[in-house]
Amino acid sequence: MAQTRKEEFKYTKYEKARMIGSRALQIASGAPFKIKLTKKQLADINFSPLEIAKMEYNEGVIPITVKRPIPDSRPKVGAEQKA
């Protein structure tokens, strides 16, 4: 069974803000929506790119991913390793 992005990962508030803000900028620049909205729904949110991006995030269809650094526990090789 396919999981939504929200079920797979727990994003921090900073990652969430970055994803929604970046998507809102894309929408404001003319990117197509990833969710279906009626004209009444658009009028209710005053055509706000930020609100549309929040709705996309809540639906789990926002087309932005987060790369997190993974701690490297392997031993150092080369000049840093002392004999």
Q: What is the pLDDT of residues 11-60, one digit of tens each?
A: 899 999 999 999 999 999 999 999 999 999 999 999 999 999 999 999 99
Domains of the chain: 10-59 (3.90.940.10)
61-81: pLDDT as tens digits: 998 888 887 777 666 555 554
Contact in structure between 49 and 25 (CB atoms under 8 Å): yes
pLDDT at site 72: 74
The DSSP secondary-structure symbol of 71 reads P
Task: Go through 42-69 and write b for each residue having 16 or more CB atoms within 10 A of its CB, e for each that does not.
Answer: eeeeeeebebbbbbbbeeeebebeeeee
- Matching residue, tokens 């969430």: 16
